[in-house]
Amino acid sequence: MVLLGTVVNTAAIIVGALLGSSLSGIKENMRVTVMQGISLAIFVLGIQMGMASQNFLLVIFSLVIGSILGEWWKIEEKLQSLGIWLENRVGGKGKGSISTAFVTATLVYCIGAMAILGSLDSGLRNDHQVLFTKAMLDGFAAIIFASALGIGVIFSAVPVFLYQGLIALSASYINQFVDEKLMMLIVNEITATGGIMIMAISINLLELKKIRIANMLPALLVVSAGVPIMHYWSRIWEWIESLL
């Protein structure tokens, strides 16, 4: 079953969010300190991911073009509007709590090496171990996020299911067209680009600066297209040089 890992991951987030939202007795100071600890860990994770790049100029170019597209498409505003709509329908601890929890948790769960690699493993090799591991981590994080940010974390399970499920289903067919070496190059640059966004998430969680991270998401598409373009261009250039 190609989607088994994604289903388990989604279920873990839902269960964790339900458990976390019921932990209302946690003191505010404890919640703040725990969230700060998680934020710092997320920042370090982002640094590690960012170091995966073998072509950092492409990462910078992708972030620039992706951010322009994101601002043009107003992705951040649309995600926030969706979160606020959910809040109006469900209710929350305070104004904007569900929208903040939904957007933050969605970005943390979806932007990362494990989400991409795990989904690729599920699709290419029907191996779900990475997503099972991610499910444990996400479930625990959901408990912490939901206890601090509210029930809105549970709604992040929907984009996680769609995002990882789409990658897994696509990967089950894409290996017919893309060789494994090129696929790993693409994953490396996606990981590095996502790592920078992960660092930005931690900065937002620490309330150091408000960064419109969602509007950077198109950078993942740009870098995904940029890697094969540069890969095949280098081959063409090598062929031209061999003729000279």
CA angle 31, 37, 43 (to 5 degrees): 135
Question: What pLDDT digit, counting tens, does each position of 141-194 carry?
Answer: 898 888 878 888 999 999 999 999 999 998 888 767 888 788 889 888 988 888
Provide φ and ψ at 133, rounded to 5°. -65, -45
Please state the domain extents for the chain.
4-53+74-178+190-210
> What does the radius of gyration of the chain's CA atoms come to, in whole angstroms?
19
pTM: 0.78
What pLDDT is stored for residue 73 in this prediction?
Answer: 94
What pLDDT is stored for residue 17 in this prediction?
Answer: 92
Question: What pLDDT digit, counting tens, does each position of 108-137 carry?
Answer: 888 766 788 789 889 878 889 889 989 988
Mean pLDDT, range 203-210, rounded to an integer:
87
More confident residue, 157 or 48: 157
| Cα–Cα distance for residue pair 134/13, rounded to 1 Å | 10
Answer yes or no: are the C-beta atoms of 147 and 21 closer than 8 Å: yes
Half-sphere exposure of 167 (CA within 13 A, CB side): 25
The residue with tokens 């910078």 is 60
Query: Of 144, 50, 48, nearest to 105 (Cα)?
Result: 144
What pLDDT is stored for residue 165 in this prediction?
Answer: 95
Answer yes or no: are the C-beta atoms of 65 and 193 closer than 8 Å: no
Classify 179 as helix, strand or coil: coil
AA identity, residue 207: E
Answer yes or no: are the C-beta atoms of 149 and 97 closer than 8 Å: yes
Could you tell me the pLDDT band of residue 21, with boundaries at 50, 70 and 90?
confident
**What six digits make up the tokens of 109?**
């769960």
Q: Which residues contact 60 (CB under 8 A, 6 or more apart)?
A: none
